[in-house]
Amino acid sequence: MSIKEKYALTDEGVRNVKLGAIWTAVSNLVVFAGMGIIFLAMSQFVASLTEGAPLPDIMPYAIGLAAFILILFFTEDKAYHYQYGVIYQESGRQRIGLAERLRKLPQAFFGRRDLADLTETIMGDVATIEHAYSHVLPELYGAYITIGIAAVGLVVFDWRLAIAALWSCPIGLALLFGSRRFLAPVMRATRMKGLAVSEDIQEALECVREVRATNQEERYLDGIRADIDAAEKQTIKGELFTGICVNGAQVVMRLGLATTILAGAAFIVDGTSDFMTLFAFLLVVSRIYAPFDQCLMLIAELFAAKTASARMQSFYDEPLATGGETYEPAGHDIVFDHVGFSYNDGEQVLEDVSFTAKEGEVTALVGPSGSGKSTCSKLAARFWDASSGTITVGGVDVSTVDPEVLLGDFAAVFQDVLLFDDTVMGNIRLGRRDATDEEVLAAARAANCDEFVERMPQGYQTMIGENGSRLSGGERQRISIARALLKGAPVVLLDEATASLDVENETKVQEALSRLLAGKTVIVIAHRMRTVMSADKVVVLDGGRVAEQGSPAELMAKGGLFARMVGLQTQSAEWAL
């Protein structure tokens, strides 16, 4: 496996790791060169002390040391640049790559992975790799290169002492990487426990209102505490395991120093070596493990990075929602032809659903809760792909069209309105980014937004808070309607579009809607029969199947499920508390 795959790096990232490793190795070798200068000076001083030779001229050594410091500064600066300087660009590229990928993934993927998990991958996993990338990877590869070159030098100098010094490096590293098999599951478990805590906190923040309203704070906090405790225990276990493995490997490596002293002493005694050779070896050997020290301390990060990159890779392994960019429909009739569907291979939600929503007509989907109305509208816009049968828009099979291209023809107002922490104007303009202020204001007026926007301190320039937290349900929905109106797409999906509006507002919005929806293909999902009665066609769903379809009058005359639902709603409307 290449390092590109192992650590989910971009091509630029791989290039930078290689350059970082090379500069780290050069820097390490420069340190050895510095030691060479010290060694030469020492041997001349020793010679003058022991053999009465004249004292050496200090100048060349002083110049050598000054050059050494300058070169070391230069090479360290280069190594630092490739290790730390460019890492933030790499993380940026990784995050943008993931976000781009997410944009193209089918909805089915989001059904399987929850929000905390996805955010953790984009932020947490990339940060883990970032740390391993900056602190470990170039150091580790640089250390391999350094030790390789130093080993050649030592063997040439004295092969016997070289063996005594270097035997411990491969054994120490083999022990460490061998223990990865035990470490990897521990690291993975630590990551998953940490993720569970993030999920808990995210859920607690999202549901804070419901938790308070139902007096569940204590119970909720107990759950979070239990997960934090479990994460803490697992983290300690992980640290302990890593500590044992890393320290074990370091001790084994350092044994090389001891065997060098023992072997050197023995060779001096039998006269096959001398003190200065042993001194040179000890200088080099004491430094040879240093490049490994920092990366060994952080080796756990490298293992954690592999878990993180596997999680990132799962985004890339997921098949994309593909489709052609050319989309030339003949009109915008939407035809469901024997459509079957289940979410993530679960229970069958739609079965043999066939109906046509004609251009220029309002087609109402009705039926009991959970009968599959929203699912039908989402399949039409290819948020999901049908499991069987086909859905066409203007004769074009939607599964053959790039989802982003197809969505250009759809405007949607769903129950769960999504708003951004931006101004009212900015939120409506999302419908069409190049719309002029006048067009945005016209759409807002048509959706009856004026009435509440005028009461806001800065009118349409007022910030509405995260996901429109400062707006009521009805106000949020009117912004969403304005957005859909501004888009002016030929197909409009309305899911309970007027559910949060009071009677007066509903009438106003309905007027605006009917004026502006004229001539388009409109699919409305509404529980209220009053809305449905004005539709051109009604498709009644029951348990994922089409129970009946036709004009409201035809269905009333038939006396089936639709007529019964209308009857029930009329009765309940007459009830009073």
**From CA 141, how far away is CA 143, in angstroms rounded?**
5
**From CA 500, how far away is CA 482, in angstroms rounded?**
15
**From CA 469, how far away is CA 474, in angstroms rounded?**
12
CA 28 → CA 1, 22, 75, distances in Å? Answer: 27, 10, 9
Tell me which of 60, 111, 185, 324 binds ligand ATP, using CB under 6 A: 111
Among 196, 310, 195, 182, which residue's Cα sits nearest to residue 237?
Answer: 182
Of 443 and 525, nearer to ligand ATP (C-beta) is 525
Of 133 and 384, nearer to ligand ATP (C-beta) is 384
> Alpha-carbon Rg of the chain, whole angstroms?
35
**From CA 385, how far away is CA 344, in angstroms rounded?**
11
Of 150 and 497, nearer to ligand ATP (C-beta) is 497
Q: Are 101 and 316 in contact (CB under 8 A)?
A: yes
Options 69-77, 256-264, 270-278, 363-371: segment touching ligand ATP (CB under 6 A): 363-371
Options 89-97, 199-207, 370-378, 423-431: segment touching ligand ATP (CB under 6 A): 370-378
Tell me which of 22, 349, 379, 526 binds ligand ATP, using CB under 6 A: 349
**From CA 437, how far away is CA 431, in angstroms rounded?**
13
Q: How far is the CB of 496 from ligand ATP (least distance, A)?
A: 7
- Per CB under 6 A, 75 contacts ligand ATP: no
**From CA 181, how far away is CA 169, in angstroms rounded?**
20
Q: Extract the tokens encoding 413.
A: 């107002």
- Per CB under 6 A, 373 contacts ligand ATP: yes
- Per CB under 6 A, 370 contacts ligand ATP: yes
- Per CB under 6 A, 531 contacts ligand ATP: no
Site for ligand ATP, residues 307 to 346, rule: CB under 6 A? 343
Of 73 and 110, nearer to ligand ATP (C-beta) is 110
Of 371 and 480, nearer to ligand ATP (C-beta) is 371
3-state secondary structure (DSSP) of residue 105 = coil
Of 169 and 529, nearer to ligand ATP (C-beta) is 529
Among 295, 307, 28, which residue's Cα sits nearest to residue 145?
Answer: 28
Q: How far is the CB of 109 from ligand ATP (least distance, A)?
A: 12
Tell me which of 91, 371, 477, 549 binds ligand ATP, using CB under 6 A: 371
List, in sequence order, every residue forming a beta bridge with 525; answer none if it has no partner.
365, 495
Q: Are 320 and 104 in contact (CB under 8 A)?
A: yes
- Per CB under 6 A, 375 contacts ligand ATP: yes
- Per CB under 6 A, 416 contacts ligand ATP: no
Of 376 and 444, nearer to ligand ATP (C-beta) is 376
Of 164 and 386, nearer to ligand ATP (C-beta) is 386
Of 140 and 321, nearer to ligand ATP (C-beta) is 321
List, in sequence order, every residue forming a beta bridge with 546; answer none if it has no partner.
541
Q: How far is the CB of 557 from ligand ATP (least distance, A)?
A: 24
Handedness of CA 462, 464, 466, 467 (dihedral sign): negative
Q: How far is the CB of 372 from ligand ATP (least distance, A)?
A: 4
- Per CB under 6 A, 382 contacts ligand ATP: no
Options 47-55, 367-375, 425-433, 460-468: segment touching ligand ATP (CB under 6 A): 367-375
**From CA 311, how far away is CA 263, in angstroms rounded?**
49
Tell me which of 190, 374, 448, 480 binds ligand ATP, using CB under 6 A: 374
Options 160-168, 369-377, 396-404, 420-428: segment touching ligand ATP (CB under 6 A): 369-377
Options 149-157, 205-213, 373-381, 450-458: segment touching ligand ATP (CB under 6 A): 373-381
First to last CA, the chain: 70
Of 98 and 525, nearer to ligand ATP (C-beta) is 525
Q: How far is the CB of 363 from ligand ATP (least distance, A)?
A: 15
Among 39, 37, 89, which residue's Cα sits nearest to residue 65?
Answer: 37
At what angle are helices 217-269 and 159-166 packed, to 10 degrees? 160
Residue 308 phi, psi dihedral angles, 5° rounding: -65, -40
**From CA 131, how far away is CA 134, in angstroms rounded?**
5
Widest CA span of the chain, in angstroms?
125
Among 375, 339, 378, 341, which residue's Cα sits nearest to residue 356?
Answer: 339
Residues that bind ligand ATP in the complex, under the rule CB under 6 A = 111, 343, 349, 367, 369-375
